[in-house]
Structure 1
Amino acid sequence: MTTVRNIAQGVRSFTSNVFLVEGERTVLVDAGNDFDAVERIEGAVDDLDALVLTHTHPDHIGNARSVIERFDVDVWGYDADASLVDYELADGDTLAIGDAEYEALYTPGHKNDHLCFYSRDAGTLFAGDLIFANGGFGRTDLEEGDRSKLIESIEYVYETVDDDLAGMYVGHGPAVESHPKNHVELALQAAKTGF
């Protein structure tokens, strides 16, 4: 059975959430920044099969090199031209995370290389910095940020996930394990109204 744990829980530095997904294929979703991710991974599992990136902002990739060196893993992300990415994922591509197949959803707006990962069978969405709990959404005031693209991306996610979505793991803040599709809808409304 797949287990999802945020190994960045309790870290007091500028980092994203970092999800260690244990299962048939043990995968790290994002690497975080400015804490010893390797030590935390080693404290939880014997080995790691892959590192998957939602996007390449520094708070999501700062620990990537140490994770790659320690576990000799390949990195999956949107842009194979990015220095860390070994394997490119386009919209609609699938990959195994834990015990399930996930679809890569291309979701720019926060950053041009942003991906979300959705498994209908597992009822799980890794939302990166696109959507947060309680209707939060990714900032668009950084380089490559674009509010209209972000709104389109949230709409795309809302139309793609079904009502059986059971868990949404986000780049910052708490995971959403109760009615996550409602939080996606709230984020869409908030992004459209500018709040």
Structure 2
Amino acid sequence: MPMPQAGDKAPGFSLPDQSGATVSLSQFKGRHVVLYFYPKDATPGCTTEACDFRDEHSTLVKAGAVVLGVSPDSVASHQKFATKQGLPFSLLADPDHALADAYGVWGEKSLYGRKFMGLIRATFLIGPDGKVVRVWPKVKVAGHVAEVLSTLQGGASADAPAPKAPAAKKAPAAVKKPAAKKAPAAKPAAKSAARKGARA
């Protein structure tokens, strides 16, 4: 399946999480959903990514988002991983990679020259209307969660007022340089020269 793009309806799902509870996309209608796919529990990159989402979880929730991790691991594996790392969000078990297929993230990978089928690390931001807002197709773990958060909080538009502030401050400074006042300063010197001439 091709990867859904911004504006597409996000494929629905109902999968068990690490506690065995069924989690469905439909239950989060009206909220943003950060759906992140990762290859395997307890591997270095996946642990870093999960912990980054954990550390920013309260900020993501304040921004109106639900975080859901997905990998082909079992419920038991997810439970062990979530408990060890203190993850406060659901990890969905997708052992037959049906959800990964639906989101176009199950594909050919290569490692040390060996090709194999596996899960491609990707994140989807789904809007309150169930449509895809943004896709990160090949996630690099470093800085990824900060980028997701920035997009949720309005991205560049949130930072736009900052550059304007220094420009506004510079304008009054330019007005304060009164070149006109320097000219009268030369007059007293001229007067004293005139007086000296009179005395002579």
Q: Give the TM-score of the pair, scaled to structure 2.
A: 0.29
Greater RCO between the two (CA within 8 Å, min separation 6)? Answer: 2
Pick the structure with more helix per residue: 2
